[in-house]
Every structure is written in C-alpha cells, then in structure tokens.
Chain A
Amino acid sequence: MCTFEGLLVEFQEGCEKILPGLLRISLNVNGEDRVVEVEPRDMLLDTLRDKLDLTGAKKGCNEGVCGTCTVLLEGRAICSCNIFAVEAEGTKITTIEGLSRNGLDSIQKAFVTLDALQCGFCTSGQILAVKSLLSNTKLEHPLDEQEIKEALSGNICRCGCYNNIVSAVQSVASQNAGRV
C-alpha cells in the first residue's frame, strides 16, 4: 500500500515506486525472475530489448501491425510494442530466446528445415505466434490452412515466406497430433 496525494491506492504487489516517474517491477521472463526499473510509459518491447538484453523481439513498426515484436504473455501472443512494461508486472513472458533454451523447439526446427524464413526479421514473431496457436488450440481436428493463416494474420513477412510458414506449421501440427 502507499499513498498517492492523500488517496489510499494499492499498487500491485511487486511494483515499487522508487522515484517520481520510475518504478521497479518484476517479470518472469523465460522462466527467470527479473527485476527491472522502468518509466510507466516504457513499452514492454523496449524494456525487453534495452534493459533485459533480449533483442529477439524486433521493432518493425511500433504500431501493432507487423507483429515482429510478438512475445507470449501467459502463453498468448501479444504485440509487446502495445503494452506498457508495468502492465506485465508479475506475469510470465516468453520470448524467442526462451524457446531455444534447451535446444531448438520443434517449431523452430520446422522453420529452419522448410525455409520458412529469409531475412529472419519477422521470424521470432512468427514462431511465437505459431506457439500461441498450438498451445491454445485443442487439436481435435487437424488445422486447416485457413485457421493457420488466421492465426498468423498479425505477422507480416515482407520477404514473402508465407507459403513455407504455412507448411512449417502444418508439419509441426501433424507431428503433435501424431504424438497425442
């Protein structure tokens, strides 16, 4: 609890006001608890890139259209350029670096093998969007092309790897289905 101009306002746990305009927050990033100092206006994307040295998420447009800034928040794909770092206080964030901690994830492998990337700038975002799709969809039926495309409609690829990206997702989805 702390006071704010006489009004009792509860801050969320873990969010510490250090200076006027500066907050210390804790995030769980890729399984690790990290503490970082941010201004309220700092976006999660800039915090990850500048303060936590996780440069896998990119700033392609800064307006939530290109999807190169995609990270997972509680397992769901979001545009990290359109969320303040403070909003993510206390949540679990997964970046592309988190997927490859114990060797490449199956999605990453599929992207590599099926050449679902060229310049690679959108790749982190694409892979995490795929991860979000596969983690949050009950795979009772095989994913059709429409569903895959819809799930990736928030990720632009200017190099035009869309065909191969769809193939990569289909390949992973069928692998997963096979295992079930």
Chain B
Amino acid sequence: MLIRNFEYLAPHSIEEACGFLNEHYGEARALAGGQSLIPLMKLNLVEAKYIVDLKRISGLRGISRINEFLTIGALTTHSEIAESETVRSEVPLLSETASRIGHPQVRNRGTIGGSLSHADPAGDYISTMLVLEAQFVSASERGSRRRIPAKDFFKGAFSTDLRRGEILERIEVPIPSSDMSHSFMKLTLGHGDFPLLVVSVLGRVADERFEEVRIGLGGVAEVPFRSMEAEEFLNGKAVSEANISEAAKIASNQARPEGDLGVSKEYKSRMLDVYIRRALGGISRGL
C-alpha cells in the first residue's frame, strides 16, 4: 500500500489541464475527488508519474437548470447533487442515486465527473445516466467541446469514449416529465460498500399500463446497459406481476453477472431478477 511519488500539478484552466494530460498521456492522471483514484493508487493498481488536480479550474462545479435540462459540472460532489433542491424536485432518480453512494465522507469529496470517467461497471451513476438519456460534454486542450450521449460513453470496464487529453466538463440531463416515477436499487452486502449490482428504472403508468419504461442495469455485464428488449416488451402492457416477471426475465437474460468475493454468480443472478421486479413494482405504484 505504498504510493509511488509523483509530480503534482494544479492548473487553473481546462486547456492547460488537457494539454498536460495529452502530452503526458499514459503517465499522467486527472484527479477530481480522489475517492476512486486514491484507493487504486494505494493498491498500486494505478501508477502515475504526474497527477493533475482539476479542482482549481473554475467553472467545473455547480448545478443549474437551463430550459428542460439540468446541467451539472463534472466536479460537483455527490453531496452537492444529493442536497440540491433542484435535482431533488426535477430529477429525483439522480438525487437518490447520488445520496446513496458510499457514505457521507465519500460523498463530500467524490464527484460525478470523476465517478463517470472512472467507469466502474458497477458504478452507481451509470445505469441512472443511461436511463435518463444524459449527455456528457467533454473538453480538450484546443478548447473544443464534444457532446457524447451516455449510451455511447461507456466502452468497457473502466473504459470510456474520452480521447487522450480530454476531460469531462459537464453532464446534461434532460428533465423527465413530472409524471414519471423512478426506482433505484442496488445490492451491497454492507452499508456503504461499492455496489454489486445496480438497477435504475424510470417510467410511468397510464391507464394501468406501463409507458416509456427505461431499465438500466449495472454491475452485471462488462458495461452497464439498458435492456431495450425488456423495455419493448413492457411498454404498453398492463401492470401485472406476470408482465413484470417476464420483463425481469428478459432483462436478466441479457446480463452476464460474475461471482465476487463472498458472492456467487447464482446469487447475483437471482438478486438481479428480484431487484428488477421490485424496481418495476416500485414505479407501478407511482413512487
């Protein structure tokens, strides 16, 4: 658990940060809240010659509503998102997701941008972002911006669409209509643990039928994904145990959960089914 020494830089502009990260690609890492990076460095799973602290760059933190979008700076902390009245009333799914990450000390430092860039397949935010159809805006040293839909952002385990020298600048979340309900479920063995699986669901019930249901699953495949098949099946169907079970079965079939220390593959599969059913049951009750 020995971190090798590194050079520390704290630039004041995105361009400087991106430029340095580009020039020293492979040897330099961006530091946001550090709640993912530092533990990895302590385990020597990540070694960096240079650490570029993004926290002195102004304009990367904050939450604002612009028309039908919520814009969240990449360096906004989980606590800030969880405590934001705006997020709580406009996008309660995001509010709940952020409020349940880790424990308070982690939430006070960890950032949404850091978490998304880290792209852990079981990361709390990802299935939520997919279901909200969020867009990510990345910045590069030349000052250009790239807009990447969430569904195209996550390429693999710990791998994103960010190019060398790019960092996440902000996240844009379309505000769901107020009649949408949500469910957020995650499996952890201990409170505050990193999740073993995550289920994010958005949708509404009209005339006792499911409408516009979106089902996002994390931790059960190399990349979190939305089960379009299950969504297609469920939308338009009557709210019933049978339909919910069938949708859960379809979604589970697309998943490839793996066993973990102390948790078997079979248990995870079983829990995936339970959680999807409960999540769908949750929105059917208009929660």
Contacts and interface: CB of A to CB of B under 8 A. Distances in A.
Interface of A: 4, 7-12, 15, 21, 23, 39-41, 62-65, 67, 70, 73, 76-79, 82-84, 86-87, 89, 129, 132-133, 136, 150-154
9 contacts: A12-B12, A41-B3, A41-B6, A77-B105, A77-B108, A79-B109, A84-B34, A132-B104, A153-B103
Nearest to B102: A154
A79 B19 contact: no
A150 B106 CA distance: 13
B105 A11 contact: no
Interface stretch (B49-57, B161-169, B252-260): B49-57
Interface in B81-107: 83, 102-106
A150 to B, nearest CB: 8
What does DSSP make chain B's interface, helix, strand, loop or mixed? mixed
Contact of A153 (B7, B20, B108, B192): B192
- Most chain A Cβ neighbours within 10 Å, of B9, B10, B39, B105: B105
B5 A21 contact: yes
B23 interface: yes
A110 B9 CA distance: 43
Contacts of A62: 1, 42
Contacts of A11: 9-10
Contact of A83 (B38, B56, B102): B38
A7 B6 CA distance: 17
A23 B251 CA distance: 52
Interface of B: 1, 3-12, 16, 19-20, 23, 31, 34-35, 38-39, 42, 51, 53, 55-56, 79, 83, 102-106, 108-109, 191-192
B106 A154 contact: yes
A37 to B, nearest CB: 13
A73 B191 CA distance: 24
Given A40-B51, A63-B39, A83 B5 contact: no
A86 B56 CA distance: 12
Contact of B104 (A9, A21, A77, A87): A77
B4 A153 contact: no
A65 B188 CA distance: 14
A153 B53 contact: no
B20 A12 contact: no
Contacts of B103: 67, 153-154
Contacts of B191: 153
A83 B7 contact: no
